[in-house]
Structure 1
Amino acid sequence: MMSGNTALPRKNYIDNIRSATIVLVLIYHVVYIFNSVGVVSNIPVQGIPALDSICYFLYPWFMCLLFVVAGISARYSLQTRSTRQFARERVQKLIVPYLGGAVLLGWLNGWVTAHYVDMFGGHAVPGFVKYLVYCLNIGPLWFLLELFVISMILLLILRIDRRDRLWALAGKTGLPLIILLVLAVWGSSFLLNPPVVVVFRNGIYWLMFLLGYYVFSHDTVLAKLKQHAILFFIIAVGLGVVEVWYFFGQNYTSDACLQHPLTNLYLWMMILAVLGCAQRWLDFSNSLTKYLQKRSFALYVFHYPLLVTAAYLITTYTELPMAAVYLVLLPFTFAAPILFYEITSRIPVIRYLLLGK
């Protein structure tokens, strides 16, 4: 690994994949909080069932894709940083926003949930204790903690593999083996899944990060995906349609869905398709992509508490039909975090606690 600070040329399509995926996360959450299929949400209000199809289409792969991109980015980062510098940055950019986000914003998730669930069993609890319990409702901040853990595991692997043999070996991966990696993906869906906090699917998320670092950080491997991008895209979309049709009405976060061979084949083909298609059609930079690139992390960290709070207020104090609720919340979920960012980014202490910078 290099320890200098010479900046490497940015790969625009990697930045654009990250930004576009976070946009999909926002869209997903607007639909998810009103899902009709039993997926636990902060607001037990059912929306329009047909829109749940968006959740079935996105949920299997979009967070896996973010871990792949994070793994690729970690490889690029470690080309210009020592492992110690990398570790310090991970603490500042992941752990600080994780804790700061939970304390400054996460309590909103718990506060909303408490309106529907008796979180304290009918007992009188001091306000400060309530606040601390509310802060445990971290929402999407779980991604930051998960990413930090696998980043530290990566540093341990690098300490063992000092000559970077694993990365060199992964660079020889051919297209048939890339496709066959779906078997490892499927197997990982059974591994290290905690029984209560189901969002921490450690096995598959850690594997995705490591595949990003070791396999998809090679330009030769990515070139193979680019060459067959259209074919992968057609297969992925077709499998997505089958996924929605086959599982519609079931809990799409259940083991029965997430550990099914169809789901894992679909998510893998979609990841390969995105990595290939992005090289063809998303390898550019303009004012919009730069704007999103700068704010995508803030969008991810800020959007959910603001969305949940707005959704609670709208569904509690208005009688808008659900179609109108979606139409109000969708632009709000984009506009409110951006406005919040423009304010907080000008307050050094708050900026550091929420964004790590």
Structure 2
Amino acid sequence: MRKYYLDNIRWVTVVLVVIYHVIYMYNGEGILGGVGKITSLDMQYYDIFLYAVYPWFMLLLFLVSGICSRYYLDSHTAKEFAKNRTRKLLIPSTVGLFVFQFIQGYVSMSISDAFDSMHEVPAVIKYFIMVLSGTGVLWYIQLLWLFSMVLLLVRKIDKDRLWKLGGKANLIAILLMALVIWGAAQILNTPVVVVYRFGYYGAAFLLGYFVFSHDEVIATLKKYFVLLLVLGVGVGTAFCSMYFGDNYAEAPINRSILFTVFGWLASMAILSGAAKYADKQNAFTIWMSKNNFGLYVFHYLGISTAALLLGKPGNLPTTMIYIISLIAGFVVAYALNAVISRIPFFRWAVLGIKKERKNDVS
């Protein structure tokens, strides 16, 4: 039986990612990567949203991906899993960079005025730089593919011993896993591109697979939803209060005990709440789930294009720039998803959609 609450967690989280990137684009806290502050406010208090979601929303997506990997492998072979994940994750995040996402690279480099110092750089070199710069949000699916391949190796060695052990996890064990996440956050972090956190996100993925793919463990979470929510809100409030105004995305903050425990407790609260109250679907949630991957892949192009054309020159009221950027994130993403998903080769290269066979679309 399909776990609808997992689908709902994913599309709701991606919607939060879109909102996050709009606020991030114009943040006033010195977090680099966007246009930066465009208001005249001494303090942009709404930037607190960045601190309230960053520690957990991608952690949660990796956790859910781990759970879903277990469910997929219950009815598919390891070879089918590897082939499926390579097409859906690796192809869009490699081949897709060369055939489409270099456009994102161009926009991002234009925002940072990178081309001003590249007048003598050959066009072909500029193209390859745009390709690399176009990775953007695709780091998530790059890591997810890598974790999926590592999982196959672990499964081959483990023979389900760890998975059976994971099914015995009680509330105390679940809470103590926050220490595992904290420990993992200290290792395998890339020094420049800070989103590539192999330890932090890899641990969440593996815990999703080995622990939270058990119905018994989810039942335990549902039982303690209120407690997990209170703990998550409490630690989250402490984190936001302590670090607001500082760079939450880099060390030492993104490796701190408050950051990691908040990330874990928030993920547990959302997973338990969704399992308890959101294990259902309707026409709207079905549509959102169906278009969720396209929203994730394309949303930042819409936001950054609006930022380049409107936010950077500042030729509109700031409120309008925020609103237009948010709308652009959704409209551009859904429009590109609708168009590219229908174009042969590009649908495979950019979205990982295989060739249509009669009425079957995968």
Task: Give the drift of 1:324.
Answer: 1.6
Q: What displacement does 1:291 show?
A: 0.2
Contact 2:301 2:332 in 1 (8 A): no
- Of 200, 213, 217, the residue aligned with 1:217 is 213
Contact 2:299 2:330 in 1 (8 A): yes
Deviation at 1:91, TM superposition (A): 0.7
Deviation at residue 212 of structure 1 after TM alignment: 0.2
Aligned twin of 2:56: 61
Distance 2:163 2:190 in 1: 29
Tell me the equivalent position of 2:246. Answer: 250
Quote the residue 2:157 is aligned against: 160
Q: 1:92 aligns with which of 74, 87, 94?
A: 87
Say which SS state the counterpart of residue 111 (structure 1) adopts.
helix
Q: Kindly state the Cα deviation for residue 45 of structure 1 after the two structures are TM-superposed.
A: 4.6
Name the SS of the counterpart of 1:255 in structure 2.
coil
Distance in 2, matches of 1:11 and 1:165, equals: 24
* 1:238-271 Cα deviation digits (max 9, x unpaired): 2222221111110011212111111111111101
Per the TM alignment, residue 222 of structure 1 is displaced from its structure 2 partner at its CA by: 0.5
Rounded to whole Å, the distance in 2 between the matches of 1:100 and 1:288 is 32
Query: Which residue number in structure 1 is paired with residue 22 of structure 2?
Result: 30
- Confirm whether residue 144 of structure 1 aligns to residue 141 of structure 2: yes
Paired with 1:53 and 1:109, the residues of 2 have a C-alpha distance of 27
**Corresponding residue number in structure 1 for 2:196:** 200
Q: Which runs of 5+ in 1 are unaligned?
A: 1-8
Give the share of equivalent positions with the same residue, in percent.
Answer: 39
Given the two structures, how large is their TM-score scaled by the length of structure 2? 0.92
The partner residue of 2:331 within 326, 329, 335 is 335
| One-letter amino acid of the counterpart of residue 29, structure 2 | V
- Higher alpha-carbon deviation: 62-71 or 250-259: 250-259
Q: Secondary structure at the match of 1:181?
A: helix
Give me the CA root mean square deviation: 1.6
TM-score, reference length from structure 1: 0.93
- In structure 2, the residue matched to 1:21 is 13
Amino acid at match of 1:305: L
Do residues 79 (structure 1) and 85 (structure 2) align? no
Is contact 1:98-1:141 (8 Å) kept?
yes
Deviations 1:324-346 (A, max 9, x none): 21111112211221111111122
List aligned pairs for 1:296-335, cutoff 5 A. 296-317=292-313, 319-335=315-331
Residues 113 and 333 of structure 1, relative CA distance in 2, 3 Å threshold: closer
Q: Deviations over 1:257-311 (max 9, x none)?
A: 1111111111111011011100121111100110011000110011112221121
Amino acid of the residue matched to residue 304 of structure 2? Answer: V
Q: Secondary structure at the match of 1:60?
A: coil
Match of 1:50 in 2: 45
Could you tell me how far 1:353 is from its partner in structure 2? 1.1
| Secondary structure of the corresponding residue to residue 149 of structure 1 | helix
